[in-house]
């Protein structure tokens, strides 16, 4: 039952937002009493914590799997984007921003874990891209990876990028192209154009 609660809660939180979904909503969707949920999770904050940890671990595992394929670094970034968008269902409710606003301690802990994971992944991607002649050799990989992470957080702020005006998929596509055009060589731009045609 615990796994079913986590699965349904994840689906509802990602689709409707962490604030909007109540424990009553989750119980009704599962066809169980609220007491059943409280037998497994002490309160909504505990449930949100478990959901965010589960989502984070799942996404990290997926990104690691894509990384193991050792595709060229530009294609790899697009594969990661497609995987995340498919799993997060285009983030229509801006779940990360709601998490930041209503569960700041959980958000802060998650952001720290995301940064450590992404910093390593993106730096490795950049170093590989430089070796393959896709990215300019003079870029500072640590700085660029930090900038990339910060930008990814920034585009998820609905006050800056209202979801009525921009879909999350479009935002990620725009940002990825912006990032890559800033660091790519002529060879890298050719690969980027190929990816843009394929999408």
Residues 6+ apart with CB under 8 A from 41: 5, 47, 50
> Closest by alpha carbon to 84, among 3, 17, 173, 164?
173
Do residues 141 and 128 touch, judged by C-beta distance below 8 A?
no
pTM of the model: 0.88
In CATH, what number does 44-198 get? 1.10.357.10
Residues 6+ apart with CB under 8 A from 184: 74, 134, 135, 136, 191, 192
Distance separating alpha carbons of residues 96 and 168, to the nearest angstrom: 12
Instruction: Take residue 193 and report the two structure tokens written for it.
Output: 């154009």
CA quadruple 90, 92, 97, 101: dihedral sign: negative
Residue with tokens 């995301």: 114
pLDDT per residue as tens, the chain (199 positions) = 999 999 999 999 988 889 989 999 999 999 999 999 999 999 999 999 999 999 999 999 999 999 999 889 999 999 999 998 888 765 565 788 889 899 999 999 999 999 999 999 999 999 999 999 999 999 999 999 999 999 999 998 888 999 889 888 899 999 999 999 999 999 999 999 999 998 6
∠ Cα 57 121 183 (to 5°):
140
With b meaning 16 or more CB within 10 Å and e meaning fewer, what string describes 177-188? bebbeebbbeeb
């Amino acid at each position: 039952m615990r796994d079913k609660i986590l699965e349904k809660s994840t689906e509802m939180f990602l689709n409707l937002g962490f604030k909007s979904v109540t424990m009553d909503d989750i119980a009704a969707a599962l066809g169980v009493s609220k007491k059943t949920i409280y037998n497994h999770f002490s309160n909504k904050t505990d449930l949100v914590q478990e959901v965010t940890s589960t989502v984070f671990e799942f996404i990290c595992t997926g990104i690691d799997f894509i990384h193991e394929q050792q595709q060229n670094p530009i294609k790899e970034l697009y594969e990661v984007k497609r995987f995340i968008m498919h799993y997060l269902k285009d983030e229509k409710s801006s779940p990360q921003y709601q998490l930041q606003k209503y569960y700041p301690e959980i958000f802060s802990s998650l952001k720290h874990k995301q940064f450590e994971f992404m910093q390593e992944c993106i730096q490795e991607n950049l170093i590989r891209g430089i070796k393959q002649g896709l990215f300019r050799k003079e870029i500072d990989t640590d700085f660029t990876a930090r900038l990339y992470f910060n930008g990814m957080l920034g585009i998820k702020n609905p006050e800056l990028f209202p979801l009525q005006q921009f879909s999350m998929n479009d935002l990620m596509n725009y940002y990825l192209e912006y990032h890559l055009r800033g660091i790519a060589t002529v060879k890298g731009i050719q690969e980027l154009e190929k990816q843009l045609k394929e999408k």
